[in-house]
Amino acid sequence: MFPLLFSPASAIVSRLAARRAARPGFLAPVPVLCCGNVTLGGAGKTILALALARLLAEAGIAVHILARGYGGRLAGPLRVQTGSEPPAHDATAVGDEALVLAAAAPTWIGADRAATARAALAAGAKAFLLDDGLQNPTLEKSLSFLVIDGAAGFGNGRVVPAGPLREPPSAAARRVQAAVLIGADLHGARALLPPALPVLTARLLPGPEAALLAGRPVLAFAGIARPAKFFKTLEEAGAVLLARRSFPDHHPYRPREVARLLAEAARLGALPVTTAKDRVRLPPADQARVAALSVSLAFDDPPALEALLSPLFPLMAGP
């Protein structure tokens, strides 16, 4: 009943999203790749951005990542600093996602993607990766991916506030060149896409830290869109979960909260483990006391991805 009550408001949100997406943006002189979704978080767009950044960097392409800096106090445009000179930014300054992305490639934050792109161009960027830029019209895209979490799909198929969507999937599908379906399609999301739209399937793999967690008792905690997804990854890595603690997405951990988690882990004889995004939000003094499990994206058909990228990046084209 409640989704139906909110349907008129959802229709307004959909019209506003369509109007905003239709605005022309800045046409950069370099390729612009966009990783976006239509749900409110948790689809895996940052994981895809990391995978593409590493792929392009391995091909010798000077790719720079443009992010919004969600959760940070700085507006940008500015380049995320992760080293000691100049002093590094933290999650309160630039947001957790920007810090994770900056470990893979030069990363910039700024709500105005066009202004941020111009700053990155001046710094030598030869390609751009937009993390969560599908609904942002300020920068023209060369290749856009619609990221879908197969375990969640499109929820009830309704736009906020009646559902979890930013815009109808059909509207987003008209502005992308491919979809990336992560995990098994448990809710039939693929059937809601245009038949001609290429769909790349992929799966999440635990990072190298998984080898140290196999068979170990752990206290797992996460403040992401779907903590259960992280807990399942830990179990698949062989960790023995003695406790699971969930927090809101992008939760800013306070020293007292972390002290309680560490004390509980000590009582249980368990290793405290969280996500890479969560660990950068911990107080600096506590980050070394908590293990993090990273994840990577494995494509089922890598040549299909390369076929989409090679027209934009001749360096990636096969012989």
What is the rounded distance in angstroms from the CA atom of residue 100 to the CA atom of residue 94? 11
Same domain assignment for residues 161 and 306: yes
Residue 109 has φ and ψ, to the nearest 5°, of: -120, 150
Residues 194 and 213 placed together within one structural domain of the fold: no
Which tokens hold the place of 19? 């109007």
- Structure tokens of 294? 């990273």
* Element housing 217 (H / E): strand 217-222
Query: Can you give the pLDDT at residue 82?
Result: 85
Q: What is the DSSP letter of 89?
A: P
The CATH number of whichever domain residue 259 belongs to comes to 3.40.50
pLDDT band for position 2 (50/70/90)?
very low
SS3 call for 36: strand
Given a cut of 70, is residue 121 above it in pLDDT?
yes
- C-alpha 152/C-alpha 45 separation (Å) is 14
Q: Is 220 left (phi over 0), alpha (psi -120 to 50) or beta?
A: beta
CB count, 10 Å around CB of 32? 23
Q: Which pLDDT tens digit goes with each residue over 84-107?
A: 656 689 999 999 999 999 999 999
- Residue 138 shares a structural domain with residue 90: yes
241-262 residue pLDDT tens: 999 999 999 999 999 999 999 9
Whether 47 shows a pLDDT value over 60: the answer reads yes
- Three-state DSSP class for residue 299: strand
- Residues 73, 111, single domain; the answer is yes
Q: How far is CA 285 from CA 56, 72, 197, 280, 289, in A?
A: 34, 19, 47, 11, 8
pLDDT of residue 20: 58
Q: Would you state the pLDDT for residue 266?
A: 98
Kindly state whether residues 230 and 143 are assigned to the same domain: no
Same-domain status, 136 and 237: no
Name the percent of the chain lying above pLDDT 90.
80
Between the CA of residue 196 and those of 77, 177, 208, what are the distances in Å? 37, 10, 37
Checking DSSP bridges between strand 78-79 and strand 199-206, what pairing results, if any? Answer: unpaired
CB-based contact 49:182 (threshold 8 Å) = no
Whether residue 235 is found in the same domain as residue 135: no
> CA 181, 301, 199, 101: dihedral to nearest 10 degrees?
50
Domain count, the chain: 2
Q: What is the mean pLDDT of the chain?
A: 90
> Has residue 319 got a pLDDT over 50?
no
Residues 79 and 178 in one domain: yes
CATH number at residue 169: 3.40.50.300
| 3-state per-residue secondary structure call for 102-140 | HCCCCEEECCCHHHHHHHHHHCCCCEEEEECCCCCCCEC
Residues 139 and 258 in one domain: no
d(CA 182, CA 24): 30
Give the domain extent around 233: 208-293
Q: How far apart, in whole angstroms, are the C-alpha atoms of residue 20 and residue 172? A: 12
Q: Are residues 21 and 101 in the same domain?
A: yes
Contacts for 78 with CB less than 8 Å, ≥ 6 apart: 94, 108, 109, 110, 119
Provide the pLDDT for residue 22: 56
Task: Choose among 58, 48, 30: nearest CA to 117.
Answer: 30
Strands 63-67 and 78-79 come out as unpaired
For 129-156, the pLDDT digits (tens) are 999 989 999 999 999 999 999 999 999 9
Distance CA(254)–CA(241), nearest Å, equals 23
pLDDT > 70: what percent of the chain?
Answer: 90
Structure tokens at 22: 């239709």
Residues 257 and 303 in one domain: no
Q: Are residues 74 and 175 in the same domain?
A: yes
Q: Of 1-10, 45-54, 152-161, which range is least confident? A: 1-10
Q: What was the pLDDT predicted at 105?
A: 96
Dump pLDDT digits (tens) for 163-208.
899 999 999 999 999 999 999 999 999 999 999 999 999 999 999 9
